[in-house]
Amino acid sequence: MKRLFGHILAKLTLVIIVCVLFISIGCSAPNHEGFAIYLTKGDIPPAQMPALSHVDIAEQPVIAMNDVITYNAQTHELKLTTSAYEDISQLDVPVRGKSFVVCVDRKPVYWGAFWTLNSSISFDGVTIWKPLSLGEPHVINLELGYPSPSFYEGEDPRNNPEVVESLEQAGKLITKLSITTVDKLPHSMKGYELYSWPEDSQWHFTLITGTNRNKTLEEITSNEDFISEAGWVQIHVVGVDAIETVLSKLPQNEEVFWLAGMREQTEQTDINMQLPPGQIIDAIKEHAGRCGLDFLVQTP
């Protein structure tokens, strides 16, 4: 009887030890959730965040790694799942902002604030603007400052190495978009502007988002393409076939205004913005018509 009791006691002790070890290991094991965005515990207002040496985050992330489809390191755009995008659209964001913390494995990396476009209060931190609609694309931007980057001071934390590495390991990171990888370019409220010029016996073209301001020669001739799925587009290509491919990616009925030259040019340069010969103009206009574009050519 004593032997049986001793045997049972030994087994029970072993089970207890194993359970204690399992709990201990489970509690001390590192969190591997990777990139996530959390609200603050207690909903700390953005104006109070700089004065705090420690900020507790909420129990669950408002954007988890599984909510992220891609992160564009060039544009700082997060493409989200439909459900995650809807959740962000329904956040209660006051005009003074709603603080968030960007984390890797629940460790804070930098902080910012959700902001609403109804606000007239400026902010000098990283912002995510609350979406105005549920339409495509389901993209939110990590912006600098509100209402514009001119209100931001300090270094840009958005491509922090820990954040980038986490997103890359999860297969979510893209360095930039190119015209060959996008199905459609975004609609522009002010349409698009098209510029052309001859260089090295070839015709160069730049399609750029329309604005009220005058473009600079440097941005028109830049070889660094920039494609935001929800905003600014600037694409430079060489040759008629290449610009026709670009125009094919615009939404139907999009307005494109082909300028005969720069609106204002102060730089001294050998580059002369101009329209190509008539046969090239006609070929591109015909292609734009087939694409369903509202295509206008400025009279020289």
Q: Which amino acid is at 75?
A: T
Q: Which helix (H) or strand (E) holds 104?
A: strand 98-104
Q: Which helix (H) or strand (E) holds 174?
A: strand 173-174
The model carries a pTM of: 0.79
Residues 6+ apart with CB under 8 A from 179: 225, 227, 235, 237, 245, 246, 249
Q: Which amino acid is at 98?
A: K
Quote the pLDDT of residue 267: 63
Residues of the chain scoring pLDDT < 70 = 1-31, 265-268
Structure tokens at 244: 């026709």
Quote the pLDDT of residue 25: 30
3-state SS class at 153: coil
Quote the pLDDT of residue 266: 62
Quote the pLDDT of residue 268: 62
CB 141 within 8 A of CB 128: yes
Please give the Cα distance from 171 to 54 (Å, whole number): 31
Question: Could you write out the DSSP letters of every residue in 5-34?
Answer: HHHHHHHHHHHHHHHHHHHHHHHHSPP---
- Domain residue ranges in the chain: 35-174, 192-297
With 0-12 CB in 10 A as exposed, 13-18 as middle and 19+ as buried, what is 109? middle
CB 193 within 8 A of CB 243: no
Residues 6+ apart with CB under 8 A from 167: 34, 35, 68, 71, 173
pLDDT digits (tens, 9 = 90+) for 202-220: 999 999 999 988 889 999 9
Quote the pLDDT of residue 300: 78
Quote the pLDDT of residue 34: 95
